[in-house]
């Protein structure tokens, strides 16, 4: 469930008193607050750092006009990110100009942090992810990565939620996930150069090229998908009565991908490390349930011993 997940939060607020309140709020609500120097703000937003939301003080720019200008720039660069503005007096967007109002999703005042929690429940933790699913995805992916990279150790961060549409690295794979309780995609993303270095150092391929990276990522994707299907979907026909599709929009220049929905995405970050050579590879995994999400119908498939023996998973001796 959501209490096992975290989300990164960019805090653009320079009030020492309120920063302390934000820190307490984040600790209590599974949020990871981050700050950035003002002269680095736009370059950070243009990078592929993934975020859940932005907390923005109406006094951040020094003047109302400057603050609005900054907010509009942020909204232009990252329109999918919820920007929550802290007002000095009234927790409303009504008195903002028509030009700047669309940049913000909600407003709050420092004296009422309960209202801020309601905003995060609506925009960030709006989807419930069962514990068994979150735990199982990590277990499945770790097993696949360990089998593919036997000489490397695998570690992962706490699963988290993002509202971002940014792409990490140059290579990514997509595979559909369809069942009676979900429809969407799993996406794996990585950087090409570290994987090339890893393959060259393995001495398993004479001349390594980008095609080998593509092939490896495709194989990992298929293996994870197969285990996911076996554990959570099985061989049952997906109970889908409405085969609606939405277009996927990909802009490589701006490292942007859209799945046609504003639903938060379930994300995992895995790091493969070779202690002997110091090489490492980061693999980002996202689950985007953009077409159907019914966690109340989720169930983990139970396999009895005879099935596992027949499938070759277990041996009797």
Residue extents of the structural domains in the chain: 2-123, 131-310
Q: How far apart (Å, rounded) are the C-alpha atoms in residues 82 and 69?
A: 17
CATH class of 2-123: alpha beta
- Identify the pLDDT of residue 317: 41
Sequence-distant contacts of 56-64: CB under 8 A, at least 24 apart = 56/12, 56/13, 56/83, 56/84, 56/85, 56/86, 56/104, 57/12, 57/13, 57/14, 57/15, 57/18, 57/85, 57/86, 58/85, 58/86, 58/87, 58/88, 59/14, 59/15, 59/88, 60/12, 60/13, 60/14
- Identify the pLDDT of residue 2: 45
DSSP H/E element including 284: strand 280-293
Residues with Cβ within 8 Å of residue 213, at least 6 apart in sequence: 171, 190, 192, 195, 196, 199
Q: What is the mean pLDDT of residues 195-213?
A: 78
Residue % of the chain over a pLDDT of 70: 86
130 with 2: CB under 8 angstroms?
Answer: no
- Identify the pLDDT of residue 305: 41
Is the predicted pLDDT of residue 163 greater than 90, yes or no?
Answer: no
- Identify the pLDDT of residue 302: 64
Residue % of the chain over a pLDDT of 90: 45
Q: What is the CA 238 to chain-centroid distance, rounded?
A: 25
Neighbours of 316 (CB within 10 A): 5
Is the predicted pLDDT of residue 287 greater than 60, yes or no?
Answer: yes
CATH number of the 131-310 domain: 3.40.1550.10
Q: What is the mean pLDDT of residues 219-242?
A: 77
pTM over 0.85: no
Is the predicted pLDDT of residue 152 greater than 80, yes or no?
Answer: yes
Residue 95: what are its φ and ψ, rounded to 5°?
-90, 5
- Identify the pLDDT of residue 68: 94
Two structure tokens written together for 244: 């609606």
pLDDT of 41-86, one tens digit each?
998 888 777 889 999 999 999 999 999 999 999 998 888 889 999 9
pLDDT of 115-147, one tens digit each?
899 999 988 888 889 988 998 999 999 999 999
């Amino acid at each position: 469930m959501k209490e096992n997940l975290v989300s990164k939060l960019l805090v653009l607020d320079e009030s020492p008193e309120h920063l302390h309140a934000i820190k307490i709020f984040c600790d209590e609500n599974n949020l990871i607050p981050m700050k950035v120097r003002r002269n680095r703000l736009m370059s950070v937003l243009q990078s592929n750092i993934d975020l859940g939301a932005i907390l923005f003080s109406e006094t951040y720019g020094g003047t109302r006009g400057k603050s609005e200008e900054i907010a509009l720039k942020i909204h232009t660069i990252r329109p999918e990110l919820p920007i929550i503005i802290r007002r000095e007096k009234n927790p409303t967007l009504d008195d903002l100009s028509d030009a700047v109002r669309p940049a913000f999703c909600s407003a709050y005042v420092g004296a009422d942090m309960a209202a801020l929690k309601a905003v995060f429940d609506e925009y960030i933790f709006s989807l419930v992810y069962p514990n068994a699913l979150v735990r199982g995805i990590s277990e499945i992916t770790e097993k696949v990565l360990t089998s593919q990279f036997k000489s490397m150790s695998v570690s992962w961060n706490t699963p988290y939620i993002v509202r971002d549409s940014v792409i990490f690295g140059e290579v990514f794979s997509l595979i559909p996930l369809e069942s009676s309780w979900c429809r969407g995609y799993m996406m794996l993303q990585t950087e090409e150069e570290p994987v090339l270095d890893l393959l060259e150092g393995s001495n398993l391929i004479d001349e390594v090229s980008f095609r080998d990276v593509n092939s490896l990522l495709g194989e990992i994707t298929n293996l994870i998908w197969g285990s996911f299907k076996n554990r959570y979907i099985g061989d049952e026909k997906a109970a889908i009565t409405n085969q609606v599709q939405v277009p996927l929009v990909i802009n490589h220049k701006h490292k942007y991908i859209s799945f046609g929905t504003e639903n938060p995405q379930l994300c995992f970050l895995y790091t493969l490390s070779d202690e002997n050579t110091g090489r490492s590879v980061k693999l980002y995994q996202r689950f985007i349930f953009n077409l159907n999400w019914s966690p109340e119908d989720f169930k983990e498939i139970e396999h009895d011993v005879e099935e596992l023996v027949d499938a070759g998973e277990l041996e009797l001796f």
